[in-house]
Amino acid sequence: MTTQKIMTHIIEIRTYNLKPGTREAFHALVIEKSLPMLELWQVDVVAYGASLHDADSYYLIRSYASVDELQQSEDAFYGSAEWREGPREGIIALIDSYASAVIEVDEATLRGLRGG
């Protein structure tokens, strides 16, 4: 009898509590500045957008092969001059607070989070 290894992924779910009335501006910065940078840094963005529960919340879901890869990727990205001298200040100015949860999911769950 063979056992089949289930492919798993590490995802980080980051939620942002934004300053009141800034979600549209935050979303525009994500689309125009943050997502293109994350793509250049080969960060797998699974999903992002406005949270349904209130007008000042936003989420970003990213996928990694391991917790170590997550840490290395975020250290490199957030430590880069491109981020620090680029959109960082404009984005940070709109955030009151944020929290992250890191969990393991299977391939089907990851596909579902991607919307397909």
**CATH architecture, domain 8-110:** 2-Layer Sandwich (3.30)
Question: Per-domain residue ranges for the chain?
Answer: 8-110
Torsion of CA 13, 18, 24, 28, to 10 degrees: -60
pLDDT in tens, 66-75: 999 999 999 9
User: Is the pLDDT score of 55 beyond 90?
Assistant: yes
User: Is the pLDDT score of 93 beyond 90?
Assistant: yes
- pTM strictly above 0.95: no
The whole-number average pLDDT for the span 89-114 is 95
Q: What is the mean pLDDT of the chain?
A: 93
pLDDT of residue 11: 97
pLDDT of residue 40: 93
